[in-house]
Amino acid sequence: MFSAVKTRMKDELLIVYKSILPDYFESVLKAKSLVEDSKMSVSEACKEVDISRSTFYKYKDKIFRATEQYGKKSIITVKTADKKGVLGAILDTVYDFGANVIAINQAMSVRGVGFITLTVDVTDVAIDVSDLVQAIRNTENVKNASIMAIE
């Protein structure tokens, strides 16, 4: 069985056998599942799988289970300057990569900073999602972009 681990170095995604990972990675995945599926609190889930809450919060957004369509749909969060046309420029970048935007959520800007969440389907595109995220980061008036989840 594979697990996907997101590393901060160059924002690369790695696929590794879970047998080489520390046991707490699997525990974090179990805790995430308990919180999502069983509607347990984070504290209850962490007690159930015997990990600390700090371990859970440290890794919960950085480790995902691989599926048959691993990497085909991604949720990307983008922090932007509150400038006209930024969303359009981001969508142009996604279009240039040939990816399909499934959903867009743009929050109201706060103190000159905008927040956008994109759900992107790259099923029919031969690209690496981290390359797309880097291209979004390089878009004018984008402060940061990161992968929030991968299916």
Helices (H) and strands (E) in the chain, counts: 5, 7
103 and 139 fall within a common domain:
yes
Segment 14-25 shows an average pLDDT of 84
Rounded Cα distance, 142 and 134, in Å: 11
97-130 burial: b if 16+ Cβ within 10 Å, else e:
bebeeeeeeeeeeeeeebebebbbbbeeeeeebb
Rounded Cα distance, 100 and 123, in Å: 9
146 and 77 fall within a common domain:
yes
Which one is predicted more confidently, 99 or 151?
A: 99
Domain boundary among 65, 87, 113: 65
Which sign, positive or negative, has the C-alpha torsion 41, 30, 147, 67?
negative
pLDDT at 113: 96
Domain boundary among 65, 93, 113: 65
* Range of the structural domain that residue 43 is part of: 2-65
Strand pairing partners for 17? 2
Count: domains in the chain: 2
pLDDT tens readout for residues 33-84: 899 888 899 999 999 999 999 999 999 888 877 654 455 788 999 999 999 9
Which one is predicted more confidently, 147 or 143?
A: 143
| Inter-residue contact 1 to 18 (CB < 8 Å) | yes
Rounded Cα distance, 71 and 53, in Å: 27
The answer on pLDDT for 93 being more than 50 is yes
61 and 77 fall within a common domain:
no
Nearest to 106 by CA among 146, 79, 134, 67: 79
pLDDT at 11: 54
Domain boundary among 37, 65, 93: 65
